[in-house]
Structure 1
Amino acid sequence: MIRVLIADDEGIERMALCRRLEKHFGETLCICQAEDGAEAVELFKREKSQIVIMDIAMPVLNGVEAAEQIRRLDEGCVIIFLTAYDEFSYAKRALVIRALDYLLKPCEEDELVAVMEEAVRLAGLYAQGRTAGYFRPAGPENAPVRDGEERGESGENRMTQVAASILDYIRRNYMKEISMQDAARAMNYSDAYFCKLFKQCFDQNFTTYLTHFRMNEAKRLLQNQEMNVKDVSALVGYSDSNYFSKVFKRITGMIPSEFRDSQFIQK
């Protein structure tokens, strides 16, 4: 069972988030709740949560400050930020925290589920001692260095170029173990600013888009009858074929073998 801490000063938001997670993940998750950053830190010390979903704007201790303390307590904890701040200016301090993703409130259910699926996977890997290559130390040699240009260069042409660059990166790397931070670093942006750009370009977050991109590639590969599910899983970036099958079914409504069979029946 994966231990999850949800911290948000809005009780209705916390309850709604819990219901959505329980709907999709059932008894896989053990969820505890905090109503401010200080309580979140104390709960984390007691519960040793593996995943933390943290609202940025909270009283007593804001989400970034609380996450900084949590990161010092546990290097491998998976942190997801919730923010209502579309400009992400408040999130710049979160760079060294190495959050998995930023979800803009109110977040779409598909985005939430996609990010949580990845968080659960990473929490499982960390428990097995296998995430050394994923959570990179935030040092000057690999830290993202550019927060972006002023909203004066934000014309349609520039956004088109940014979107094309992001798509090119995804097409060349979707089969690898990549994260939002890897993409931001490759394009020389800070995590928070990259999240903002990605949302503007694609109207969803990076993890959700990458998941759907991989599933579309998987559907294409599954049309080859000679390829087994394990091979397809590896070719679209999933080392665990069972996890791949679970994500594939959530998005398509069928397990990979059923989808492949349906394609041959149609032909």
Structure 2
Amino acid sequence: MVRLLIADDEKYERESIISILSWEFGDKLEVLEARNGREAIEIAEQTRPDIVITDIKMPGINGLVAIEEIKRSLPNTYFIILTAYDYFDFAVEAVKNNVKEYILKPFGRPELIEKIRKAVACVDKEKAKRKSEIENAEKLNNLISVMENELSYYILNNTFEAIDEQMYKNYLNLTFENTCSMVIELECRDTELFNNQIKSKVGEYIKGYINLKYRAIGTYKSIKELVYFIEAPVDHSDEDKKITIVKLAVDIRKEVQRIFDISINIGIGRCYSGLAAMHTSYKEAATSLEKRCDNNIIHIENIKDNANENNHNIDSSKSVLFKDIEKYIVDNMVEELDLDTVAARFNLSCYYFSRTFKEIIGYNFSDYINILRINKAKELLRDNSISIKEICFSVGYNDPNYFSKVFKKYEGRSPTEFRK
């Protein structure tokens, strides 16, 4: 069914048009009416008509202004101008501005029917075109999904001899420059049926989350784990790339826990360039996951820390390292700091970092950061010209209420009470 809106301040004209169209088109047309330009705009916003027939001269907002307003939100609407001979010049101008047709008053029945029939045919053609475009887009998306799985299969099995690499790169919009693999394991629970049902949902969610920031492909249909290949920013150093991907893994783990209430473990390989090198990154990510020990997230370069950490004692070299870490935290206190990202920056496993940090510094990681921030806040609170909200943001907190809660936890009183 095609929806048509008639806008004319003369009731007789509206009724005449409705009568003719109802007789000729019957249920093929849903006809709405407006008494002026303002009503036409409001009704169009609510009902989204396919065709609008409007008089030019109406009280208040005239037909040309109404057309301009309606086109802002409904650019594909088919517009027909109704006008008396005196306003013919306006109608010609409207046609120049992409109004499809005009009808001179008084109009004859055959002319009206002919113009509406032409409009309906045009609308039907556009609808068919849009439907075809949507169907083609769906087919392309399905094709891309198949190609992602195919290429991932070739990478995992290291078989590139018979494939057209450039075709895959073009369709998937990937260069495989500075690209690493991420292998994700869902911590199993309940039944195998549950895991099969949820795996695809989690896999799709993670893929969408990664694609918000980076270009990537993934597969999770033919193997136990979820496997992704992610292009890191090309302008980053190797160390920054590693930190960026580890931070992404931290965010993914938090989001999956929040959305699905499922814990995941993540292994990460190094960044390489070239499609053939992706298998190496995948093997590294899988090895990282296999040897992760107590870590939920681990990069291949951190595995050696796990192997040797039991042999570490508090010595001068370790103390120097953690003094550097302490300085980094102090210098970046106002930034968003989390244990996984800081550990990755210094090439340490999260488990080793967490345990040794408390051993050397005397506090666990989160307590130490809070203590630093609260001590800095206490200094600033002595200056009454700075608001508590400003102090909250300047020491690294994003929520004044949370800042007050943390402050009271460590100081036994709120920032306001401390200032008094």
Higher relative contact order (CA 8 A, sep 6+): 1
Structure number with larger C-alpha Rg: 2
- Normalising by structure 1, report the TM-score: 0.46
- Normalising by structure 2, report the TM-score: 0.31
Query: Whose helix proportion is higher, 1 or 2?
Result: 2
